[in-house]
Amino acid sequence: MGPSRSLLASARAMDYRVRFPPNVGILLSSKPIHLSVLEELVHTLPPQLHLIGAKVANVFVNPSVSNCERDGSKPAPKGAQNNDFGITLGAFPEAEVSSFAIHDPGRASETSLRRAFFEKRRVEMLGKSSEASETASTAQLEERYAHLHELDHQLSAEWAALSRVEKLAYAESRPWEDQLAAADAATAPDAKVFIVLSTARGAHFLDAFLRRLQSMHPAAAIVGGIVSSGAGCVLASRQVVRRVDSGVACLAFRGNVPLTALICREEKSHMQEKLTQVKTHMEASGQELLGTAMFTCTARDGTDDLKSLLSVFGGQPVLGMAAGGEIGPRYKRGRPSAQTGDVELQGFTCVCGLFVVPRRMQ
């Protein structure tokens, strides 16, 4: 079974019998994942879930912890996470999760043009029903999926008949600044956390984008990384998958989302020391770690970084990637171990996005 089908089979086998359905997801794979398979995967997940993902150079997971919720639900089967791929889903009932993408207007591949054409024509033909309703029944979702599958055959024939000039009309022409200003998820005044995946080809405006996003939300925690594999990113919401060949894909959180960032430039022993400080502070504050999103430089030993994290927080979920540039609060010696704000695109660091929650009563 190929990695795409293996991922789909594993995700379908996961049990989501949790108190709250997941509303956020991150998918990382070291192998190509076909969009058709990703669309099948998204169709198995709740409509309210927002997901971003990418093909990356290396995937890091905690092999001893499943990606299911921590409330006793059935864990994922063995093979649901390995070095080929990792998928983590989270439920934040006190938070509003949304997503947005910023495309590089100077680049337009055949794939991105085709995807834009399909998205626009779906909306033109179906209107609001092109997206899945959060209140739809399972039968309604199945009917919608079958209808979209049939419609895509028709759209494929339309696309094949277009000339190159006609296809270019579907390219994103707005500057990235205008796209950002038009993204409701990015401009919401009370956004607190952003997770950002950037393609390598879109990195030329990434630094300016991050500064602009932080200026709009000075206290927000912004973490993420550049996809070093040279591949694009994906974004899914309301069971609609969108591809970002050149640009950024972002998750945005409003409400109660307790995430801070730990930035390490030192090697293993110093990283463990910082993590221990964070854990001590959590325990003194009556908190515990829910899970970690890790972005480590390709020039670092990512396995060592993962081991350092697990040596302190060994029982919690981790999903991480090797990045060609890490996104997080500016590294500076003497700063608090966990930070928010002051985002910077940096190198030779390990950025850990730490989701912290009040400690559960036994």
pLDDT of residue 78: 37
pLDDT of residue 169: 85
Residue 42 CA, chain-centre distance (Å), reads 13
What 3 state SS string does the chain have?
Answer: CCHHHHHHHHHHHCCCCCCCCCCEEEEEECCCCCHHHHHHHHHCCCCCCEEEEEECCCEEECCCCCCCCCCCCCCCCCCCCCCCEEEEEECCCCEEEEEEEEECCCCCCHHHHHHHHHHHHHHHHHHHHHCCCCCCCHHHHHHHHHHHHHHHHHHHHHHHCCCHHHHHCCCCCCCHHHHHHHCHHHHCCCEEEEEEEEEHHHHHHHHHHHHHHHHHCCCCEEEEEEECCCCCEEEEECCEEEEECCEEEEEEEEECCCEEEEEECCCHHHHHHHHHHHHHHHHHCCEEEEEEEEEEECCCCHHHHHHHHHHHCCCCCEEEEEEEEEEEECCCCCCCCEECCCEEEECCCEEEEEEEEECCCC
What 3 state SS string does 341-355 have?
Answer: CCEEEECCCEEEEEE
Encode the chain (362 residues) as per-residue pLDDT tens digits. 445 556 666 665 555 545 678 899 999 999 887 777 888 888 888 889 999 999 999 999 998 775 443 333 333 333 333 468 888 888 888 899 999 999 988 777 787 788 788 888 888 887 755 666 667 777 777 777 788 888 888 999 999 999 988 888 888 889 999 999 999 999 998 899 999 999 988 788 999 999 999 999 999 999 999 998 778 899 999 888 888 989 999 999 999 888 889 888 877 778 888 899 889 988 998 989 989 999 999 999 999 999 999 999 988 899 999 999 999 999 877 665 568 889 999 999 999 999 988 776 55
pLDDT of residue 73: 35
pLDDT of residue 7: 63
- Residues with Cβ within 8 Å of 142's Cβ and at least 6 positions away in sequence, in order, are none
